[in-house]
Amino acid sequence: MSLITTENKDGVLFLGFNRPDKKNAITLDMYRTLTAAFKAAQADDTVRVVLVHGSPDTFTSGNDLADFLSEPMDDKSPIPAFLEALSHFEKPIVAAVNGPAIGIGTTMLLHCDLVYADTTAKLAVPFINLGAVPEGGSSYLMPRIMGNVRAAELLMLGETFNGQKAKEYGLVNDVVEPGKLMETATAAARKLAQRPPAALRITKSLLKRWNRDTLDKVIPTELELFAQQLRSPEAKEAMTAFFEKRKPDFSGFK
C-alpha cells in the first residue's frame, strides 16, 4: 500500500497520509508523491476538490526527522516543490485533522481552504524546539490570521494545542467528535464539488492573490534559514534527543 493514498470519488480527490507506524511522518519520497498528486489533480477536470486526511489516529507528525538528520536540505530537496504545488493549487483544499498534526502538518493547513479537526487533534509548530525556524509561509500567514502575540506564542513556545484553540486562533473552521470528522469534511468537500468550478477557482484565487507575491518570497526565505538551522548543533541535539527518547539539552549553546 502506498504511503500516500489517492481516491477520486464524485469529484473529491481523497489524499491520505498512510504511514501509521511512524505517525505518518513525511519522507522525501512522500513529498514527491504529494507534489505529483497535486499537479495531477490540477490538470484533471474530474477533480473538483482535494480532501487531505490522515490515518485513523494521526494526521501527520510532520517531516521525517530521520531524513532531516541524514539528508541536509539542499537544492535536491523536494520540499520547496511541494510547498509551491500546495500554495499555488487552484482548486479548493479541505483538510480533516485528527491526532498529531505537527510542523508541516499544521503549516500545510494555512494553505487549505476549509479545515476540520476532531477532539483528538494535537497541533504544533514546534520548529523552535528542534533548533529550526518557521516554514511553509507560517512566519507571514500566522500573524495575519491570528495576530502577532498568538503567532509568537505558537512559534516561539512551540507547544502543542488542541482543535478548540486552533479554532479560536482561526486555523480551523470547526471541531467535531472523532466519529464525525471524515463525514463532516467529506460533506463540505462534496458541497464545494457541486459549486460552479470556474467561479470557485476565481474565488479562491481572489482570496489568495493579494498575498501571493509576498508569500512567494517568504517561503523560499524561510526554507533557506530552515536549511541553515538544520545544520546547526542546536538542531542536531534536538533531533538526536528525539530518537534517543530524552529531553534535549540546549544549556551549552549561545
Residues 129-168 that bind ligand COA (CB under 6 A): 130
- Tell me if 63 contacts ligand COA by CB under 6 A: yes
Rounded (5°) CA angle 74-81-68: 40
The grid coordinates of residue 214 equal: 509576498
Residues 64-83 that bind ligand COA (CB under 6 A): 64-66
Rounded to a whole number of angstroms, the minimum distance from the CB of residue 103 to ligand COA is 3
- Tell me if 114 contacts ligand COA by CB under 6 A: no
Rounded to a whole number of angstroms, the minimum distance from the CB of residue 70 to ligand COA is 11
Our CB check for ligand COA shows the closer of 83 and 200 to be 83
Strands 100-102 and 93-97: unpaired
Q: How many angstroms separate the Cα of 153 from the Cα of each of 124, 146, 158, 169, 175?
A: 11, 11, 7, 11, 21
Listed ranges 74-82, 124-132, 145-153, 203-211: which one lies at the site for ligand COA (CB under 6 A):
124-132
Our CB check for ligand COA shows the closer of 33 and 184 to be 33
- Tell me if 100 contacts ligand COA by CB under 6 A: yes
Which strand ranges, in their side-by-side order, compose the sheet holding 93-97? 4-9, 12-17, 49-53, 93-97, 114-118, 174-176
- Tell me if 102 contacts ligand COA by CB under 6 A: yes
d(CA 139, CA 107): 10
Rounded to a whole number of angstroms, the minimum distance from the CB of residue 66 to ligand COA is 5
The count of other CB atoms within 10 Å of the CB of residue 74 is 7
d(CA 186, CA 22): 25
- Tell me if 126 contacts ligand COA by CB under 6 A: yes
Is the distance from CB of 93 to CB of 50 less than 8 angstroms?
yes
d(CA 27, CA 38): 17
Instruction: Build a one-symbol-per-residue string for 13-52: x at contacts with ligand COA by CB under 6 A, - elsewhere.
Output: ---------xx-x---------------------------
Rounded to a whole number of angstroms, the minimum distance from the CB of residue 246 to ligand COA is 12
Interface with ligand COA (CB under 6 A): 22-23, 25, 61-66, 100, 102-103, 126-127, 130
